[in-house]
Structure 1
Amino acid sequence: MKIKTYRSQFIQELSSIYDEAEAESFFYLILEEKNQLKRIDLALQPDLSFSEADLQLWNSILEQLKLEIPVQYLLGKTHFYGLEFEVNENVLIPRPETEELVDWIISNNQIIKSTNPLRILDIGTGSGCIAISLAKNLSNAQVYAIDVSEKALATAQKNAVRNQVEVNFIKTDILKTNDLEKLPTSNFQLPTQFDIIVSNPPYVRNLEKQEIKKNVLDNEPYLALFVEDDNALIFYRKIAELAQKNLSPNGQLYFEINQYLGKEMVELLENLNFRNIELRKDIYGNDRKIFGEK
């Protein structure tokens, strides 16, 4: 079967679940990964065909997409801030909004010249996308990353190797941590103070579940997404309290946040005596990230 013919069939069969543009983007992502062909190749060689083996593979992938399994999980990888990351059911798929958070941190710190390393802590690292992107783009960064999930940390460690950066990973439950200095580590010494603490913790309230797409609800790790309605800022409060203890003077705190809780987040940081607080919108116009200085 000609690939162009299959492309039309592929998009049509997904039309009841995804819009045409999204289904088409899936097709070209898979084409590049599985057949090493780009959109331009198909345009220049319209008679290219799939073999029987190709068709079996593509039909299998198509059936899984119909079950709303994310295409990134089917391919086992995704791209974030110009880097490639392994993703699986143990980690969230990195979002463009998180790339904006990373870019904010890099923009604020890449021109700082110092003989001392820039000590960074990423709390709730998941795939490692924030920590690894910062390590890759800030030449003087010394990066540490925490997660409660051993499987997530194993994925993050692979991603650090894949992207040729050094990140020090720590398994701990941040909600049960009272002093970052006392976290158990085996092969490295944890700084007593950090210059930057960043986190994209769970922030979706149960009452907002109806806004979450089925492919996210059914496949991405629940613990990395949701918090109780009556304690939606539990992670932010805990991390901000730790940051007051463990940030260096003028240290920076960055969060990705629930779009509906921007005002509450500003109040939280004000009440904990952070200064120069800045709430920023994402590319979709939603309150999505916040900065505070110790």
Structure 2
Amino acid sequence: MPIIAADLVRQVKSAIQSLYSVQEVEAIAYLFVEMSTGAIRMDCHLGKEVEQPKDWEQVLARLATHEPWQYVLGKGWFRDRIFELNPHTLIPRPETEELVDLVLEKITPNKTTCKVLDVGTGSGCIAISIALEALQAQVSAWEISPEAQTQAMQNATSLGAKVTIELQDVFQWSTRSDSETWDIIVSNPPYVMFQEASQMEKHVTDFEPGLALFVPDANPLIFYQVLESMSSKHLKQDGWIMLEINQALGQETKALFSTNRWKNVELKQDFHGKDRFVIAQRDI
């Protein structure tokens, strides 16, 4: 049924106006309509007619429960590409795009091959982006969730990226062959403490997968500890590990790499100026 695109925008705004800030409501409404119908903001201002999306009332009802628009649509943006999502994959975030930039900076343009491993790939956004933007990279990824692995494989296929995605629990890394090594290991692992959940937005805590978000309050660095151990064995000499981190635990995470196994250890900030990444280079 044809409908004016601006009317769809107004309906989305009405459904979510009590859930987000005024600026967020505006941004979400226009983006949602664009991704649902193809009508950009200018089309809405010009009174363009579009076909009303299927099950529109149901869609609005889901948005009104605080369900993230990315899950309602089943897709989201990352580095100017659309990634399909499901409830077992985290919604890609702008900060993680910066993590990809850090990896790309370490890939030597004239090097024949650079082996990269993404641990906990989720939707595959990190691994796939690296594979598409550094053609000399040989990219593989690990994921513990079968549903997330399936989604990542579908994204790799639809986006034309050559990425090997395996089901692998990082805590079982010692089962891998000692001869299996990488030039770069990258990860955005779970790092949110359960005690932080009360400070988080409802659309995150109620809908995004806890398996990919939360860590025990008593041992919030559990994933970084295992990643440090695994990388010290499976990174090549002078290889890099690059991690997204909990901003509240920057110095503690950096300290894990303050041993003679590592050099050039850095705590880096994101575009908000918050501690967000730790990188380190294997020494011995």
Normalised-by-shorter TM-score class: over 0.9
CA contact 1:11–1:20 (8 Å) conserved in 2? no
CA contact 1:196–1:252 (8 Å) conserved in 2? yes
Output the CA distance in 2 between the equivalents of 1:7 and 1:211: 29
Please list the CA deviations of residues 45-70 of structure 1 after superposition, one character each: whole Å capped at 9, or x if unmatched.
23x4567xx28743322211110111
Q: CA deviation at 1:80?
A: 0.6
In structure 2, the residue matched to 1:120 is: 116
Match of 2:222 among 234, 256, 267: 234
Q: Aligned pair 1:196/2:192, yes or no?
A: no
CA contact 2:39–2:50 (8 Å) conserved in 1? no
In structure 1, the residue matched to 2:246 is: 258
SS of the counterpart of 1:131?
A: helix
Given the superposition, is the C-alpha separation of residues 114 and 13 from structure 1 closer, same or farther in structure 2, using an over 3 Å criterion?
Answer: closer
Q: CA deviation at 1:32?
A: 1.7
Q: How many residues in Structure 1 have an aligned counterpart in Structure 2?
A: 280
Match of 1:31 among 24, 30, 33: 33
Counterpart code for 1:106: L
CA contact 1:241–1:272 (8 Å) conserved in 2? no
Q: CA deviation at 1:5?
A: 4.6
Question: Runs of 4 or more off by more than 6 Å in structure 1?
Answer: none
Identity rate, percent = 38
CA contact 2:119–2:186 (8 Å) conserved in 1? yes
CA contact 2:187–2:244 (8 Å) conserved in 1? yes
**Pairwise CA RMSD:** 1.8
Given the superposition, is the C-alpha separation of residues 286 and 5 from structure 1 closer, same or farther in structure 2, using an over 3 Å criterion?
Answer: same
Given the superposition, is the C-alpha separation of residues 274 and 179 from structure 1 closer, same or farther in structure 2, using an over 3 Å criterion?
Answer: farther
TM-score by length of 2: 0.92
TM-score by length of 1: 0.89
Counterpart code for 1:269: F
In structure 1, the residue matched to 2:259 is: 271
Q: CA deviation at 1:35?
A: 2.1
Please list the CA deviations of residues 238-261 of structure 1 after superposition, one character each: whole Å capped at 9, or x if unmatched.
111111111111000000000011
Given the superposition, is the C-alpha separation of residues 193 and 224 from structure 1 closer, same or farther in structure 2, using an over 3 Å criterion?
Answer: same
Output the CA distance in 2 between the equivalents of 1:55 and 1:134: 33
Q: CA deviation at 1:205?
A: 0.4
Q: CA deviation at 1:193?
A: 1.3
Given the superposition, is the C-alpha separation of residues 32 and 6 from structure 1 closer, same or farther in structure 2, using an over 3 Å criterion?
Answer: closer
Given the superposition, is the C-alpha separation of residues 113 and 235 from structure 1 closer, same or farther in structure 2, using an over 3 Å criterion?
Answer: same
Please list the CA deviations of residues 62-121 of structure 1 after superposition, one character each: whole Å capped at 9, or x if unmatched.
211110111001111111112221011010011111000001111232x43123x10011
Match of 1:174 among 170, 178, 182: 170
Q: CA deviation at 1:29?
A: 2.1
In structure 2, the residue matched to 1:286 is: 274
Given the superposition, is the C-alpha separation of residues 9 and 167 from structure 1 closer, same or farther in structure 2, using an over 3 Å criterion?
Answer: closer
SS of the counterpart of 1:89?
A: coil
SS of the counterpart of 1:276?
A: strand
Any unmatched runs of 5+ in structure 2? none
Counterpart code for 2:217: D
Q: Aligned pair 1:82/2:84, yes or no?
A: no
The range that moved more, 100-109 or 244-253, is: 100-109
Given the superposition, is the C-alpha separation of residues 167 and 2 from structure 1 closer, same or farther in structure 2, using an over 3 Å criterion?
Answer: closer
